[in-house]
A and B are shown apart, each in its own frame.
Chain A
Amino acid sequence: MNRHLISAGDLSLDDALLILDTAEELASTAERPMKKLPTLRGRTVVNLFYEDSTRTRISFEAAAKRLSADVINFSAKGSSVAKGESLKDTALTLEAMGADAVVIRHGASGAPHRLAGWVRGSVVNAGDGAHEHPTQALLDAFTMRRRLGRIEGLRVTIVGDVLHSRVARSNVLLLSTLGAEVTLVAPPTLLPVAVGGWPCSVGYDLDAALPKADVVMMLRVQQERMNAAYFPSVREYSRRYGLDAARMALLPEHGIVMHPGPMNRGVEIAAEVADSVRSTIVEQVANGVSVRMAVLYLLLGGASETGGQR
């Protein structure tokens, strides 16, 4: 494995399977009364969050703490960042504090790449702009494998704002590595112009895609897209690309419904779909902790016995 986890595209098939298998082992510890493992005792993990994302931050925090790492939460609000400190200076500060891993969430695509050039510790991308969110893709793959028993050969349909979605980018890369067949469905305005070169197929008709889908993953419609002429109205979007109960009935019997959260109920997903037995949305949250434990364990754990630098 690389020292950093910045793009799902950097993971080989073996890397990805190793993370999923490790997550499976670690998940079993969550069922014990004593959830903590001593693996990362004495290591420091910094959660560097430039965007509010309570769900992702607490998921990483829980993962690090269950591995006994020391966790420092560094939020852009109320820190020197708000006073205009540069990412580089923040990186040098974290470096001086001895961070073994920095989990970064940032609104700018590529911020984790820049950070990796300035710190010696491992960088874990927890979402950068419209670029990637690799641990989300890993937890989605983990969830699919738990529900459906495999990933290879699965037909996965990802629906919505692909253009601005880091979740979609990471999922396309990871799922194609793992051998799934990915189809993107969206209005043409919300697809990148060169999406034809991605390792997936593309369609505009959700009803046509659903009967063949083992998995349908609904992406969140961001508030700021709603008034930027990407589609005429929220109502029309919902009518053409939202998943309601009638559409869900088009899925094969074993088909599951995923959403990375947070959801806009009534826009991209109807409440009765979100709460149905096909929905994996709550499991995805739980699985997120296991997968992030696996990532931190594999990036940092190997060095802990020797206490060495990478």
Chain B
Amino acid sequence: MTGSWLITGAMPLGGEPADVLVRDGVIAEIGPGLDAAGSAQTLDAEGLILLPGLVDLHAHLREPGREDAETVATGTAAAALGGFTAVHAMANTDPVADTAGVVEQIWRLGRQAGRCDVQPVGAVTVGLGGSQLAELGAMADSAAGVRLFSDDGRCVHDAVLMRRALEYVRAFGGVIAQHAQEPRLTAGAQVNEGEMSGRLGLTGWPAVAEEAIVARDCLLAAHVGSALHVCHVSTAGSVEIIRWAKSKGWQVTAEVTPHHLLLTEELAAGYDPVFKVNPPLRTADDVAALRAGLADGTIDCVATDHAPHPLEDKETEWQAAAFGMTGLETALRVVHRAMVEPGLLDWAGVADRMSARPAAIGRLAGHGALAAGGPASLVLYDPSPREQVDPAEHASKSRNTPFAGMVLPGRVTATFLRGRPTVLDGKLAW
């Protein structure tokens, strides 16, 4: 099924049209007027933008444990439809991915699913409990080759434990991805603390609870000379702190979610928990700062924080509902809308922030580039359509997308993973 493909007339990184010859899983040639000598299937890609396959540093695939919300199979199908060729699977499964056995299980499930590489993220602490380091070395040495570690969903709030984790993973080139949330400042928190929390009578999640941890962790990372990655940055203050840390030359990277680039806290006004997410939707000023930070590279990449939940966990009172939004299938379109349309990023910039940089942060080989001789993991994106998001069309098992009904630009037309199409004509290829 791998076969050979001649993709004609696509615009690599949004540039001048070129043809791409894919053979034996690699990009054999890129250039104008290629001839496949009859042996290849042809894909007319005129008007489509060619990007390297997208890499997500942050997705919740829910397996094992919450297969009612998502499985590795459905999650990777959703990822392929969104143009992704690799996703990092967060560790807050049940059982928690805190041992070599569990991360290998998830890695193997990804291989079986086959539509998208699944790179497990290992938990930093046993059971996400925040008190004892998990066997980080065993996970690094396992078949899954874990390099990114995170207690995502919870913050590693103990400063000593965070310091030790940052130091320890240096031995195998690991990075700690922090969910920055000071727990005491956010007990029972439901929405951004500010005008909306006051009006709605919901407990506030203050920006300072994120910023205080981001600042502390930047200082810790600098002190021990280790790599820190900040998950789902959501406030203008965090962007400033990270900009400052980078100016010092410290090894700090950061991600922002598509929803924090486009949506604001006002959406909570109707108490519909489809807009409930952690960290919460913030203000328009925060959105502007996040966009500017992503544009100037302060924020390295976009990561979805795809967090599927079954209907019954969202069809409830706000404070009883689960936190989280799906995002794999809409991420590129949202970035198109939030970053490309306003002129903040061009398509080369999108490729950098959604493929090259996340692959580099995740220490993931074989992803992130579009070059002759390299793996043919790529996505073709049609920028011209403008269509409503219809969750019923999504391959994710869950329907909790905040973009339902919203008109977004663009459409992922095709995705290739190492030369094999996973998506063709906007639909799963198999």
A residues adjacent to B (C-beta < 8 A) = 86-88, 106, 108-111, 113-114, 128-132, 164, 166, 169, 192-195, 197-198
Of A108, A113, A169, the contact of B319 (CB 8 Å cutoff)? A108
Instruction: State the CA gap A131–B191 with chains docked (Å).
Output: 13
Of B195, B199, B201, B312, the contact of A129 (CB 8 Å cutoff)? B201
Q: Which residues of A contact B315 (CB under 8 A)?
A: 86, 88
Closest residue on chain A to residue B197 by CB atoms: A192
Closest 5 CB pairs of A and B: A110-B271, A192-B198, A131-B201, A130-B201, A108-B317
Instruction: State the CA gap A113–B268 with chains docked (Å).
Output: 11
Contact indicator B318/A108 (Cβ below 8 Å) = yes
**B405 vs chain A, min Cβ distance (A):** 15
Closest residue on chain B to residue A163 by CB atoms: B198
Interface residues of B in 313-349 (CB under 8 A from A): 315-320
**B135 vs chain A, min Cβ distance (A):** 37
Q: Mark B184-226, 1 if CB is under 8 A from A, else 0.
A: 0000000001110111111110100000000000000000000
With A131-B200, A131-B201: A106-B195 Cβ-Cβ less than 8 Å: no
Contact indicator B198/A106 (Cβ below 8 Å) = no
Contact indicator A109/B271 (Cβ below 8 Å) = yes
Instruction: State the CA gap A217–B97 with chains docked (Å).
Output: 54
Instruction: State the CA gap A129–B320 with chains docked (Å).
Output: 12
Name which of A110, A111, A164, A197 has the most chain B CB atoms within 10 A of its CB. A110
Q: Please report the number of residue pairs spanning A and B whose Cβ atoms sit closer than 8 angstroms.
A: 67
Contact indicator B195/A109 (Cβ below 8 Å) = no
Instruction: State the CA gap A128–B318 with chains docked (Å).
Output: 12
Q: Which residues of B contact A197 (CB under 8 A)?
A: 195, 198
**B236 vs chain A, min Cβ distance (A):** 16
Closest residue on chain A to residue B194 by CB atoms: A194
> Does B38 touch A at the CB level, under 8 Å?
no
Contact indicator A110/B198 (Cβ below 8 Å) = no
Instruction: State the CA gap A128–B271 with chains docked (Å).
Output: 12
Q: Which residues of A contact B249 (CB under 8 A)?
A: none
Contact indicator B270/A195 (Cβ below 8 Å) = no
Q: Which residues of B contact A131 (CB under 8 A)?
A: 200-202
Contact indicator B271/A193 (Cβ below 8 Å) = no
With A86-B312, A108-B319, A113-B271: A193-B193 Cβ-Cβ less than 8 Å: yes
Instruction: State the CA gap A169–B199 with chains docked (Å).
Output: 8
Give the contact-size bracket for chain B. 20 to 34
Of A86, A166, A169, the contact of B316 (CB 8 Å cutoff)? A86
Q: Which residues of A contact B193 (CB under 8 A)?
A: 193-194
Q: Which residues of A contact B198 (CB under 8 A)?
A: 192-195, 197-198
Instruction: State the CA gap A131–B190 with chains docked (Å).
Output: 13
Contact indicator B201/A132 (Cβ below 8 Å) = yes
Of B201, B271, B320, the contact of A169 (CB 8 Å cutoff)? B201
Q: Which residues of A contact B200 (CB under 8 A)?
A: 109-110, 131
Given A106-B317, A109-B271, 15 extra CB contacts under 8 A: A87-B316, A88-B315, A108-B317, A108-B318, A109-B202, A109-B319, A110-B318, A111-B271, A114-B272, A114-B317, A130-B202, A166-B201, A193-B204, A194-B195, A197-B198
Instruction: State the CA gap A111–B319 with chains docked (Å).
Output: 9
**A39 vs chain B, min Cβ distance (A):** 32
Q: Which residues of B contact A108 (CB under 8 A)?
A: 317-320
Q: Which residues of A contact B202 (CB under 8 A)?
A: 109-110, 129-131
Q: Which residues of B contact A109 (CB under 8 A)?
A: 200-202, 271, 318-319
Instruction: State the CA gap A130–B202 with chains docked (Å).
Output: 7
> What are 11 contact pairs spanning A and B, CB under 8 A?
A108-B318, A109-B319, A113-B270, A114-B272, A114-B317, A130-B201, A130-B203, A166-B201, A193-B197, A193-B204, A197-B195
Interface residues of B in 264-300 (CB under 8 A from A): 270-272
Instruction: State the CA gap A308–B236 with chains docked (Å).
Output: 53
Instruction: State the CA gap A87–B312 with chains docked (Å).
Output: 11
